[in-house]
Amino acid sequence: MSHITLSRVSKRYPGGHEALGGVSLDIGSGEMVFITGHSGAGKSTLLKLIAAIERPTAGSVLVNGQNVGTLRARGIPYLRRNFGLVFQDHKLLFDRSVFDNVMLPLEITGFDRREGARRARAALDKVGLLHKEKARPITLSGGEQQRLCIARAIVHRPSILLADEPTGNLDAGYAAEIGELFRDFHQVGVTVVLATHDMQLAARLQPRLIEIRGGRIHHD
């Protein structure tokens, strides 16, 4: 069963810039997909459309059979809980500890606190940050911040992991660690969709590669 389906999806921003023009795409459950292309090619827009951060101007985006484009506003939070989102700029909350950052998705879904704490520690352990659970995110290195972002993305065990340039600002060593994490999630059945232009990472993980050029699929 197909997990994510895009049919002739276009996205035109106010002002006339067309980020995507008629993209059709099927991503199966448990697949690992890298979306590549130059900056401004439309990679980020594609991820935003899947996560209902943007709505398509034309065409339809289906996630688990649900049409994201026509979803009512109050349905969006529940759709987003299917995703783990990893951002290039991390979007961590600097006024709370590493542990509390990871707890946030569980608090949002009303998870039992004790069980939640167990899961948060497991997620931190997975990304190798358990010893820093009490630290403030600002004291972490760039690579650690990215791993914290990943821990927060996976703590509620989403079925789809969406990552926008997760290795964008990292040197090769850190990027390799992050790559291994994504490989692990893929191996336990999580659908992993990465927007990246890190071809080294692609060479190592051997994912399905989709290249976008000028808002269209150039190569699949």
Q: Which span (25-33, 81-89, 177-185, 207-215) binds another protein, by CB under 8 A?
A: 81-89
Q: Could you say whether residue 199 binds another protein (CB under 8 A)? A: no
Q: Could you say whether residue 117 binds another protein (CB under 8 A)? A: no
CA 103, CA 91: separation in Å to the nearest integer? Answer: 14
User: Residue 206: left (phi > 0), alpha (psi -120 to 50), or beta?
Assistant: left
Angle at 149 between CA 145 and CA 155, to 5 degrees: 135
Q: Which residues contact 187 (CB under 8 A, 6 or more apart)?
A: none
Strand pairing class (32-36; 208-213): parallel
Q: Could you say whether residue 89 binds another protein (CB under 8 A)? A: no
Query: Is the separation of the CB atoms in 19 and 42 below 8 Å?
Result: yes
**Quick one: which of 81, 136, 183, 208 contacts another protein (CB under 8 A)?**
81
**Quick one: which of 85, 175, 194, 195 contacts another protein (CB under 8 A)?**
85
Angle at 166 between CA 164 and CA 172, to 5 degrees: 145
Contacts with another protein in 92-111 (CB under 8 A)? 93, 95, 104-105, 107-111
CA 115, CA 56: separation in Å to the nearest integer? Answer: 38
Shortest separation between residue 213's beta carbon and another protein, angstroms: 27
Shortest separation between residue 44's beta carbon and another protein, angstroms: 13
Give the up-direction half-sphere exposure of residue 116: CA atoms within 13 A in the CB hemisphere: 16
**Quick one: which of 1, 65, 73, 203 contacts another protein (CB under 8 A)?**
73
Shortest separation between residue 147's beta carbon and another protein, angstroms: 17
Q: Could you say whether residue 53 binds another protein (CB under 8 A)? A: yes
Shortest separation between residue 100's beta carbon and another protein, angstroms: 11
Helix (H) or strand (E) holding 35: strand 32-36
> Other C-beta atoms within 10 Å of 122: how many?
14
Q: Could you say whether residue 52 binds another protein (CB under 8 A)? A: yes
Q: Could you say whether residue 113 binds another protein (CB under 8 A)? A: yes
Shorter beta-carbon distance to another protein: residue 86 or 201: 86
Q: Could you say whether residue 157 binds another protein (CB under 8 A)? A: no
Q: Which span (23-31, 90-98, 117-125, 208-216) binds another protein, by CB under 8 A?
A: 90-98
In the numeric block, which tokens belong to residue 58?
């034309």
Chain contacts with another protein (rule: CB under 8 A)? 51-55, 73-74, 76-81, 83, 85, 91, 93, 95, 104-105, 107-113, 152-153
